[in-house]
């Protein structure tokens, strides 16, 4: 790995390495959130934003104890791939929302999304003692749905007309994985692959 973007690696897999996202990463993230192709499937969609506004958004997200947010890097080169995290961690219900954005297009369709989903699912269950990790994905994000199913997530329900984009509404699929589903099937393998997590 190269340069300062790879300092402080916290979690890693075969392809991806994760380190805490910081407000200083706004300049890395900005081109992704300003690219309509990258944000096409995001619930927030594309919105005009300055690097300083994005820096403040990141500061707000990362300063909340209810969120753990990471910059995703290519493990071999240290190049930024995207960002991902567990949000709204609820200590009583022991659940969290998973979010991911693979922003660097050269890393699309190469398994980074699936691996990061697996890494953070492992982290959520093994290290945070969660009972449930859930996510929302637009119905048209076929690749995302496939990656989530590959990582063990199951459909939980459909949110009708949840996203408005390009003059039409899209449904969203709510997916989740429960601790009782995760441990018998994936925990042993994930401990071998990701168990070096801090």
pTM over 0.75: yes
User: Which tens digits make up the pLDDT trace of 185-194?
Assistant: 999 989 989 9
Q: Is 57 a residue whose pLDDT tops 80?
A: yes
Q: Is the CB of residue 61 less than 8 Å from the CB of residue 67?
A: yes
pLDDT at 1: 40
pLDDT at 168: 85
User: Which tens digits make up the pLDDT trace of 69-116?
Assistant: 999 999 999 999 999 999 999 999 999 999 999 999 999 989 999 999
In CATH, what number does 4-194 get?
A: 3.40.630.30
pLDDT at 44: 63
Residue ranges covered by each domain of the chain: 4-194
pLDDT at 82: 95
Q: Is 197 a residue whose pLDDT tops 60?
A: no
């Amino acid at each position: 790995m190269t340069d300062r973007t790879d300092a402080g690696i916290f979690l890693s897999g075969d392809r991806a390495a994760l380190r805490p996202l910081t407000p200083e990463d706004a300049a890395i993230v900005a081109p992704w959130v300003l690219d309509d192709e990258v944000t096409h499937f995001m619930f927030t969609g594309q919105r005009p934003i300055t690097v300083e506004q994005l820096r403040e958004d990141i500061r707000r997200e990362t300063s909340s104890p209810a969120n753990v947010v990471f910059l995703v890097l290519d493990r071999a080169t240290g190049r930024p791939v995207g960002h991902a995290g567990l949000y709204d961690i609820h200590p009583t219900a022991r659940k969290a929302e998973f979010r991911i954005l693979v922003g660097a297009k050269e890393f699309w369709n190469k398994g980074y999304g699936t691996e990061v989903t697996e890494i953070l699912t492992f982290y959520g269950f093994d290290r945070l003692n969660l009972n449930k990790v859930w996510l929302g994905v637009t119905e048209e994000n076929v690749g995302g749905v496939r990656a989530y199913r590959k990582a063990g997530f199951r459909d939980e329900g459909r949110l009708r007309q949840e996203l408005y984009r390009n003059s039409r509404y899209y449904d969203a699929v709510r997916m989740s994985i429960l601790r009782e589903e995760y441990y018998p099937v994936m925990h042993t393998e994930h401990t071998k692959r990701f168990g070096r997590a801090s």
